[in-house]
Amino acid sequence: MQLEIAMNQINVSDLNKAIKWYTETLGFEVSQDHHYPPRAVDLVQKGNIRLLLYQVEKDTVIDYPNQAQSVIIFKTDKLIETMNTLKEKGVNFLYEEALRFPAGLFNAFKDPFGNVHEIVQFSS
């Protein structure tokens, strides 16, 4: 048996606000093929990455990095430049500066609903 990841689900307390944030801030697009309003909507990026935004009642409170959780990790070739662009769009990073880890640099940020995501730049 081999399992394949179909998509990542992100629970959000305001679906319309989430659609706006994930499209305008992170560059996803609303999928024309998979749309399940009023509770959920699929977002796509580069045609093959899918995020399912799913409406729930409350935001989350995550004690990152001390609590078990799922984290979506985005990659970039220019972490500092990408961080600056995202900061201009209102993204608040959890660390003031990019941090080193064995494979490169990273930082973490929260979406408006408390979900934590990371952004990495792998060493060449």
| Residue 9: strand pairing partners | 52
Question: Pairing relation of β-strands 72-75 and 116-122?
Answer: parallel
Reported as a single tens digit per residue, the pLDDT across 38-93 is 899 999 987 678 899 999 999 999 999 999 999 999 999 999 999 999 999 999 99
Predicted local distance difference test score (pLDDT) of residue 65: 95
Angle at 103 between CA 100 and CA 109, to 5 degrees: 55
* pLDDT above 80 for 36: no
Domains along the chain?
A: 1-58 (3.10.180.10), 59-124 (3.10.180.10)
Whole-number average pLDDT of the chain:
94
Judge contact between 78 and 121, C-beta under 8 A: yes
